Homo-oligomer: A and B are copies of this chain.
Amino acid sequence: MSSLPINPPPRLLMGPGPINADPRVLRAMSAQLIGQYDPAMTDYMTETQALYRQVWATTNEATLLVDGTSRAGIEAAIVSLVKPGDRVLVPVFGRFGHLLVEIAERAGADVHTIETEWGQVFPVSVIANAIARVKPRLLAVVYGDTATTMNQPLDELGEICARHGALFYTDATASLGGNDFAMDAWGLDAATAGLQKCLSGPSGSAPISLSERAVAVIRGRTKVEAGIALETDEASPDVIRSNYFDLGQILDYWGPRRLNHHTEATSMLYGARECARIILAEGRQAVIDRHALAGLAMLAGVQGLGLQVFGDVTHKMNNVVAVEIPAGIDGDRARAALLADFGVEIGTSFGPLAGRVWRIGTMGYNARKDAVLTTLAALENVLRRGGVRAGTSGAGVDAALEVYEG
């Protein structure tokens, strides 16, 4: 058994995430700890909230972090908003829609789904009709499903939900920071994410934002923990079925009452704060534009290599593309060669797409020209050595460079 210090091999992570962290994020995380009620710490928490309000494009006071990976944020949102028996509608267009179903079912919800083929998104009218039919307490929809690379348009759904008295939640893990997102303008009540995609950080902290309407629902389910409750603290009969994911308690920890819940994951908070800070320093729209450009270049590049793109490209996320694995190539062997010989990682997918597509990401710190070109050059060589001739030599790199050159 090894007992050497951590010393990971150098990798260029061009899969569907995690991707390489921005070095500034790792430097922030290497800062020494401070106490959870140190004024410097509570200031960092407050600053982090303000920074993420800009990232989410919201004025929601209730903008904070859940201490866990992106699905911790999802579960916190769903279990805090949904009581057992509440109807939840989930439009499923990929693996992460199934995940929302699974989490809502375990929260005791009465879950209704509509499904579309992987690689497609829903027309707004289909979701609108389902809302009218199901009359859900909550519409839970993935924004970008990395399993299929599709981004479901959300901009018209908030108004429809409001009209039908439904709360509107989205999981924006895979898209936040690299694609348009407008929490308030789209009428969202809850949204969650992770750091390991377009935010350029490590997995382990889940940014979340909640509208006043969502907060009111959660406040109606309040319970202060025994051991720290005052006599004036009364518990609701609809107590949330999780302590760790009780957003009411987490809000009391982040809010002026500063009631201890967990011990904030300080290093992850440092990292999450830095992720937001560097995005805003570059400019929120500039970062989205950088993702759009890198995504276009990678798309042109894989097409230049003669690869078939999977799914409805008009709804593709900026930050990831799926390509059909060419006939005659063992997809996993090719990925292993890319990793071993070039240090470049790309991904496959899940369920019906496992072994059928490769997913190639251009996200966060790696939404860069050099990362795109290096990946295409390496991939061309792996394809060539696997017996697939990709048209003219260098056609992938050339096509991507053309996008960059205008």
Partner-B contacts on A (CB < 8 A): 1-3, 5-11, 13, 15, 17-21, 23-24, 26-36, 38, 40-41, 43-44, 47, 50-51, 67-72, 75, 79, 94-99, 101-103, 106-108, 147, 194, 196, 202-204, 225-228, 239-245, 260-268, 270-271, 273-274, 277, 280-281, 339, 345, 347, 350-351
Contacts and interface: CB of A to CB of B under 8 A. Distances in A.
A38 B11 contact: yes
B33 A30 contact: no
B30 A8 contact: no
Among A43, A147, A227, A345: residue with most chain B CB under 10 A: A227
Nearest to A223: B102
A263 B31 contact: no
Contacts of A24: 5
Contact of A10 (B32, B108, B225, B262): B32
A99 B35 contact: no
A33 B43 CA distance: 28
Contacts of A103: 243-244
Contacts of A106: 239-243
B203 A29 contact: no
Given A3-B281, A21-B267, A204-B266, 13 more contacts: A1-B51, A6-B44, A9-B38, A18-B33, A20-B32, A69-B265, A71-B244, A72-B72, A97-B227, A98-B225, A106-B241, A260-B350, A265-B268
B35 A7 contact: no
Interface residues of A: mostly helix, strand, loop or mixed?
A: loop
B75 A242 contact: yes
Contact of A20 (B33, B40, B41, B240): B33
Nearest to A354: B228
Q: Within the oligomer, what is the number of copies of this chain?
A: 2
Given A227-B98, A263-B194, A32 B38 contact: no
A263 B351 contact: no
A203 B17 contact: no
Nearest to A249: B102
A119 to B, nearest CB: 14
Contacts of A244: 68, 71-72, 75, 103, 245
B102 A67 contact: no
A203 B71 contact: no
A67 B75 contact: no
Contacts of A280: 3
12 contacts: A3-B280, A10-B32, A11-B34, A13-B35, A18-B266, A27-B30, A29-B29, A34-B345, A101-B226, A103-B244, A228-B351, A267-B268
Contact of A345 (B9, B38, B108, B245): B38
Nearest to A260: B350
Given A242-B242, A244-B72, A21 B32 contact: yes
Contacts of A107: 241
Contacts of A95: 227-228
Contacts of A262: 68-72, 203
Given A99-B227, A225-B99, A266-B18, A345 B204 contact: no
